[in-house]
Amino acid sequence: MKAKDIMSPIGDFLSPDMTLHEAVIAIRKCKRSHGLSVKGMLVLDNNKNVVGILSIKDIMGAVIPPYLSPDLSLFSWDNMLEQMTDKCRNKKISDIMAREVFTVGQETPLMVCVDFMIKKKLQRIPVMDDNKNILGMVYIRDLYEIIANILIKEENK
């Protein structure tokens, strides 16, 4: 099997000048075939070139910057999360998105996709054609389902 065999089409994407507030709304609206919201979306410029990717981890990191994390329990206060979240509402996606986007071609074997996701700690990989146009997305959940089905195939007989 190849990336093209399991990729999901990409209909929605984010723009780098969107605010965090707008991005959260877009992410919540973007559903996969199983009905659940995606956990990250591509960021495309006006020419539909990939300029980044925004995940829910990036959003959480914007609200609670990493420099706070080790000692957060020492100085947190009631409503701290709400206050910090409100301060981030109008941050631009371009300020918090991951700019390094790892992609695969449509003919990339799934074994390579799995290896890539494990080594790079990715949850999703955009699939591009030879002209660097976005075709779809391979999600870790879909790769897991293939592996899980292989592992339990004897039980399904």
Q: Domain-by-domain residue ranges, the chain? A: 3-156
* pTM of the predicted protein model: 0.82
Dihedral angle sign, alpha carbons of residues 70, 117, 16, 55: negative
Whether 134 and 45 have beta carbons less than 8 Å apart is answered as: no
Whether the per-residue pLDDT at 64 is higher than 90: the answer is no
Quote the pLDDT of residue 79. Answer: 78
How far does CA 147 lie from the centroid of its chain? 21
Whether the per-residue pLDDT at 1 is higher than 60: the answer is yes
pLDDT digits (tens, 9 = 90+) for 145-157: 999 999 998 665 5
DSSP SS3 for 21: helix
CATH code of the domain occupying 3-156: 3.10.580.10
92/112 Cα distance (integer angstroms)? 33
Q: 77 phi and psi, to 5 degrees? A: -135, 165
Quote the pLDDT of residue 118. Answer: 95
Average pLDDT of 2-8?
Answer: 95
Average pLDDT of 102-108?
Answer: 96
pLDDT digits (tens, 9 = 90+) for 112-139: 999 999 999 999 999 999 998 999 999 9
Whether the per-residue pLDDT at 68 is higher than 70: the answer is no
**Interacting residues of 97 by C-beta distance below 8 A, sequence separation 6+:** 14, 16, 43, 51, 52, 53, 54, 58
Quote the pLDDT of residue 69. Answer: 58
Q: Which of the pair, 51 or 77, is modelled with greater confidence?
A: 51
Whether 30 and 18 have beta carbons less than 8 Å apart is answered as: no
pLDDT digits (tens, 9 = 90+) for 9-60: 888 999 999 999 999 999 999 888 777 788 999 999 999 899 999 999 999 8
Residue 3's nearest CA partner among 144, 111, 141 is 111
